[in-house]
Amino acid sequence: MLQDTQTIRYYQRITDAFVELWNRGYRTDDMRMYLDGYLAALRHSNAIEPILIHRLEEEASRYLYDASNFVMTQPQPDYY
């Protein structure tokens, strides 16, 4: 579980990007490459501690591979 506020912000940005990429037609392999690049940039910039980057990777991967995060909800028809 993420507790550092900066790490939580990065997590929110990543998961929002995942949903946007999914809606634009990208799939899990593409999003995994996106995540790998994002994490590499964080490591290179020393923006947060390496242990926090590792935790962020675990949580973002868990989100990515949970299919329920990418299910499109269908509106319920109105019956009169």
Domain boundaries, the chain: 5-68
| pLDDT at position 73 | 63
Return the pLDDT at 12: 97
Token representation of residue 45: 């910039």
Q: What is the pLDDT of residue 76?
A: 67
DSSP 3-state percent helix, strand, coil across the chain (nearest 5): 70, 0, 30
In terms of Cβ atoms closer than 10 Å to its own Cβ (0-12, 13-18, 19+), residue 7 is buried
Q: Looking at residue 54, what is its pLDDT?
A: 96
pLDDT in tens, 22-63: 999 999 999 999 999 999 999 999 989 999 999 999 999 999
Q: Is the pLDDT of residue 80 over 70?
A: no
Q: pTM of this prediction?
A: 0.85
Pairwise CA distance, residues 63 & 66, whole Å = 5
